[in-house]
C-alpha cells in the first residue's frame, strides 16, 4: 500500500461530514486499499498517460506547433475550453503570443505588456494566478476577446525553460487555461496537474533546443565543408556556387524565399549586392551599387537612422532587425512591399556583420513564413553564415586579382626586356629615345596597375568618367605585347574604327579588367594555324559599345552558358560580374568562323555630368 494512505484516511475521518457516517472499523481499514486499487491507480494512470503524451511530442515540430499540441492535451484533461501561451521577450520587454488551442493566433494581440497584465505577473512571480471572473479583472484588458470566446475564468501557470549556457537567459512564459464557468473555484489538485504538465512541456522545448544546437553545429560544419570544396575547384571560389550549396542547407530552419549578402561602401551611403540566392529574380541585381536611403531598414541596420518606433510590425535589436509584416512596416520601401507581395515574402530578417566593430556587410533573409522572433541559436547560425560568406567573398576577390595579375605582369616583363635591350644597344637617335620613353610610360602604367589590383582587394579607388575607346585602345596595345611574349604566330591585329568621346562612368580598374580578360580569352581562342583579333567601338543611343572579335567559333549552347555565368574559366566569370556591376550588358555573337564579344555600358554626357 502506498505510504501516506493511512494518514489520508485518518484525515478524512476527522472531517465533520465523515463523523456522521454509519461505518464500522472494518470499512475504514479497507478504505485505503480500495482507494489505492480503484481510484488512485486509475487516476495516476490517466495523469501519467497524459504527461507521456506531452513528453512524446515530436521535438522536430516548430515551437508554436508543439505548444498548440501540448495546450490541446491540457484543455482536454482539465476540462477547459481553450488555452494559450505567451513567452516573455526580453528585447521588447513584452509578452509575445506564441501558440494556442484552438489555434487562433490571428485573433490575439501579438504583444501585451509585461507590467499590468496577468501574464506578466505570472512571469515575474513564477507562481500560478487564479482569475475566477475575467470580466471583473482589471489586469485583463481585452474583454472583447473573452466575450467572443464565451469564457469567464482563467488559470495562468508559469512556463520555465532553463538556460543552457552562462550567457543565456532562462526562457519564461505563461500558459493561460480558460474555462466557461463564471466565479470558478480552482482546486489544488488541478493547479498541481497543470503545473506538472507545464514542467513536462518545458522538457520537450528543452529537448528541441538540444537537437537544434546539435543541428546548428552540423550546419556550421557543412557550411565550412561547402566552402572548402569550392576552394578546391580548379576555377577557384565563386560566391554564386557557395550560395547555391549553402542556403538550401537552412531550409529546415527557415523557409527562405531568398537571401542576399551586401557590402557597405566606406561612405556608408551606398551598398553593393555581392551575392544572392537565387541569383535570378532577386529584388536587386548582383553587383549593383545603390543608395542606402533607398531602403529605411538599411539605414536602421547601419545606425544611420534612429528607430523611435514601437510597432508590432518590426523588431529592432542590437543584433538584428526583423520585419514581421513587410506590408505594414514603415521600414520597408513601397518597391520592396510590392516585391514581397508578389513573391509571398511574409517576414524579412536583416543581420549586420562587423569587422573590428565596424559594419562592413549585412545579410538578409526573406522568409515565406511570418516569423515573430528568431531564437538566439538561429541568429548565431546566421551570423556564422554571414562571417563565412565574408571570408568567401574576400577569397573570391583574391582569386580574381591573382587571375588578372597575369596580363600586366607579362606586359611589364616584356617591355622591361625591350627597354634593357635598347639601353644596352646604346643608340641615341630620336627613334630609340622615343621607344625608350614609350616603353618607360607603359612600364609605369602597368606597374601602377599592379599596385591598383593589389589595393583593390580592399577598395577599388574612385569612380571616374573615362573614354571607352581610349581604354580599349590602351588595353589592346598591352595585349599586343602579351601576344609577342607568348610567341603566338600568325595573328592579324585589327584596330578600329573607333568612335571617340564615348564617355562612361566607372572604376577604371574595373573596365581595364573587363577588356584584359576578353582580349586574353579571344587571343587564346584563335586557332593554332592563326587568325585575327579585332576591336572597334561605337555609340548606340544611350549605350557606349565595344566589340572584341576573334577567329574561331563558339556554339549557341556554349554562348548561352557563358552569358549565364557558367564559364569554367575564371576570366569570363570575372567579366560577367564586373559588367553587371557597371550596369552594363555583355553579349556574344557568332559569325562564320568568328566570335564577337560586345560590351555595352551606359553612356553619359560629360559636360552635363560635370555641371
Same domain, 29 and 163: no
Higher pLDDT, 563 or 416: 416
Q: Where does a domain end: 401, 428, 447?
A: 401
* Model confidence band, residue 558 (pLDDT cutoffs 50, 70, 90): low
Structure confidence by residue, pLDDT tens digits, 328-380? 998 999 999 998 898 888 999 998 888 767 888 888 888 888 887 777 777 88
What average pLDDT score do residues 206-223 get? 78
Above 70 in pLDDT, residue 549? yes
Asked if residue 440 belongs to a domain, the reply is: no
Higher pLDDT, 530 or 69: 69
Question: β-strands 491-495, 531-540: how paired?
Answer: parallel
Three-class SS of residue 139? coil
What does the DSSP assignment read for 507-534? -HHHHHHHHHHHHHHHHHHS-TT-EEEE
Whether 505 maps to a domain, the answer reads yes
Domain containing 553: what range?
462-610
Per-residue confidence at 98, pLDDT binned at 50, 70, 90? confident
pLDDT value for 258: 80
Angstrom distances, CA of residue 347 to CA of 275, 536, 553: 20, 49, 48
Residue 503 lies in a domain: yes
Same domain, 547 and 589: yes
Residue 213 in domain:
yes
Q: Is 418 helix (H, G, I), strand (E, B) or coil?
A: helix
Residue 246 lies in a domain: yes
The whole-number pLDDT of residue 484 equals 74
325 and 365 within one domain = yes
Q: Is 428 part of any domain? A: no
Q: In this predicted structure, what is the pLDDT of residue 535?
A: 92
Given a cut of 80, is residue 111 above it in pLDDT?
A: no
Identify the pLDDT of residue 177.
Answer: 94
Residue 6 lies in a domain: yes
Average pLDDT score over residue span 490-519: 87
Separation CA 380–CA 386 (nearest Å):
10
Q: What is the mean pLDDT of the chain?
A: 80
Note whether 286 and 323 are same-domain residues.
yes
Domain count, the chain: 4
Same domain (yes/no): 298, 395: yes
Given a cut of 60, whether residue 569 has pLDDT beyond it is no
Same domain, yes or no: 327 and 371:
yes
In a domain, 411, yes or no: no
> Averaged over 557-581, what is the pLDDT?
67
Res. 19: pLDDT tops 90? no
- Cα distance between residue 171 and residue 446, in whole Å: 61
Segment 244-273, tens digit of pLDDT = 777 777 766 666 778 888 888 877 888 888
In the listed set 26, 41, 56, which residue is the last one of a domain according to the structure?
A: 56
Share of the chain above pLDDT 90, in %: 19
* Domain co-membership, 337 together with 253: yes
Residue 75 shares a structural domain with residue 161: yes
pLDDT at 294 over 80: yes
Q: Which of 90-104, 124-138, 253-267, 562-576 has the lowest average pLDDT?
A: 562-576
Q: How far apart are CA 434 and CA 456, in angstroms?
A: 32
- The per-residue pLDDT for 229 is 61
Taking residues 41-50, what's their average pLDDT?
84
CATH code of the domain containing 121: 3.30.450.40
Average pLDDT over residues 424-441: 71
Q: Are residues 115 and 240 in the same domain?
A: no
Q: Is 555 helix (H, G, I), strand (E, B) or coil?
A: coil
Q: What's the CATH number where 492 sits?
A: 3.30.565.10
Flag whether pLDDT at 207 surpasses 60: yes
pLDDT score recorded for residue 600: 92
Q: Are 600 and 504 found together in one domain? A: yes
Higher pLDDT, 320 or 111: 320
Q: Among residues 227, 261, 277, which one ends one of the domains? A: 227
Distance in Å from the first CA to the final CA of the chain: 99
Residues 48 and 85 grouped into a single domain: no
pTM of the model: 0.53
Amino acid at each position: 500500500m502506498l505510504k501516506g494512505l493511512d494518514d489520508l484516511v485518518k484525515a478524512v475521518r476527522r472531517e465533520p461530514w465523515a463523523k456522521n457516517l454509519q461505518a464500522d472499523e472494518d470499512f475504514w481499514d479497507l478504505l485505503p486499499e480500495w482507494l489505492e486499487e480503484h481510484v488512485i491507480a486509475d487516476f495516476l494512470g490517466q495523469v501519467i498517460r497524459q504527461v507521456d503524451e506531452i513528453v512524446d511530442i515530436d521535438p522536430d515540430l516548430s515551437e508554436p506547433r508543439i505548444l498548440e499540441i501540448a495546450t490541446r492535451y491540457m484543455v482536454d484533461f482539465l476540462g477547459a475550453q481553450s488555452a494559450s501561451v505567451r513567452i516573455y521577450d526580453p528585447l521588447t520587454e513584452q509578452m509575445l503570443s506564441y501558440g494556442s488551442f484552438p489555434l487562433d493566433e490571428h485573433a490575439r494581440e501579438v504583444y501585451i505588456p509585461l507590467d499590468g497584465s496577468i501574464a506578466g505577473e505570472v512571469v515575474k512571480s513564477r507562481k500560478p494566478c487564479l482569475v475566477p471572473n475575467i470580466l471583473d479583472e482589471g489586469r485583463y484588458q481585452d474583454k472583447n476577446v473573452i466575450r467572443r470566446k464565451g469564457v469567464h475564468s482563467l488559470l495562468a501557470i508559469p512556463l520555465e525553460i532553463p538556460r543552457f549556457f552562462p550567457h543565456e537567459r532562462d526562457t519564461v512564459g505563461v500558459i493561460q487555461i480558460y474555462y466557461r464557468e463564471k466565479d470558478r473555484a480552482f482546486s489544488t489538485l488541478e493547479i498541481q496537474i497543470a503545473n506538472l504538465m507545464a514542467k513536462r512541456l518545458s522538457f520537450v522545448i528543452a529537448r528541441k533546443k538540444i537537437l537544434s544546437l546539435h543541428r546548428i553545429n552540423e550546419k556550421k560544419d557543412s557550411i565550412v565543408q561547402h566552402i572548402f570544396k569550392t576552394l578546391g575547384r580548379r576555377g577557384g571560389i565563386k560566391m554564386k556556387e557557395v550560395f547555391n550549396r549553402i542556403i538550401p542547407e537552412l531550409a529546415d530552419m527557415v523557409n527562405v524565399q531568398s537571401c542576399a549578402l551586401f557590402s557597405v561602401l566606406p561612405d556608408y551611403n551606398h551598398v553593393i549586392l555581392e551575392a544572392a540566392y537565387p541569383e535570378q529574380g532577386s529584388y536587386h541585381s548582383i553587383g549593383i551599387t545603390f543608395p542606402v536611403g533607398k531602403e529605411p531598414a538599411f539605414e536602421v541596420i547601419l545606425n544611420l537612422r534612429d528607430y523611435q518606433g514601437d510597432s508590432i510590425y518590426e523588431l529592432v535589436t542590437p543584433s538584428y532587425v526583423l520585419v514581421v509584416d513587410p506590408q505594414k512596416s514603415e521600414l520597408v520601401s513601397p518597391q520592396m512591399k510590392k516585391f514581397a507581395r508578389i513573391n509571398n515574402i511574409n517576414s524579412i530578417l536583416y543581420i549586420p556583420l562587423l569587422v573590428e566593430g565596424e559594419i562592413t556587410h549585412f545579410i538578409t533573409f526573406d522568409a515565406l513564413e511570418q516569423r515573430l522572433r528568431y531564437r538566439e541559436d538561429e541568429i548565431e547560425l546566421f551570423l556564422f553564415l554571414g562571417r563565412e560568406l565574408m571570408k568567401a567573398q574576400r577569397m573570391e576577390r583574391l582569386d580574381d586579382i591573382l587571375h588578372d595579375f597575369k596580363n600586366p605582369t607579362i606586359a611589364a616583363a616584356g617591355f622591361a626586356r625591350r627597354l634593357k635591350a635598347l639601353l644596352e644597344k646604346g643608340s641615341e637617335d630620336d627613334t630609340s629615345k622615343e621607344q625608350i620613353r614609350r616603353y618607360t610610360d607603359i612600364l609605369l602604367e602597368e606597374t601602377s596597375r599592379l599596385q591598383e589590383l593589389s589595393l583593390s582587394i580592399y577598395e577599388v579607388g574612385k569612380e571616374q568618367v573615362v573614354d571607352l575607346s581610349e581604354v580599349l585602345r590602351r588595353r589592346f596595345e598591352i595585349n599586343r605585347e602579351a601576344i609577342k611574349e607568348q610567341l603566338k604566330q600568325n595573328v592579324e591585329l585589327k584596330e578600329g574604327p573607333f568612335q571617340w568621346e564615348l564617355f562612361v562612368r566607372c572604376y577604371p580598374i574595373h573596365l581595364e579588367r573587363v577588356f584584359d580578360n576578353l582580349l586574353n580569352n579571344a587571343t587564346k581562342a584563335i586557332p593554332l594555324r592563326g587568325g585575327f583579333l579585332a576591336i572597334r567601338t561605337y555609340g548606340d543611343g544611350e549605350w557606349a559599345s565595344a566589340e572584341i572579335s576573334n577567329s574561331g567559333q563558339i556554339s549557341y549552347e556554349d554562348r548561352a552558358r557563358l552569358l549565364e555565368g557558367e564559364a569554367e574559366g575564371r576570366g569570363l566569370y570575372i567579366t560577367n560580374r564586373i559588367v553587371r556591376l557597371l550596369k552594363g550588358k555583355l553579349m556574344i555573337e557568332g559569325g562564320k568562323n568568328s566570335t564577337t564579344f560586345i560590351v555595352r555600358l551606359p553612356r553619359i554626357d560629360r559636360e552635363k555630368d560635370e555641371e
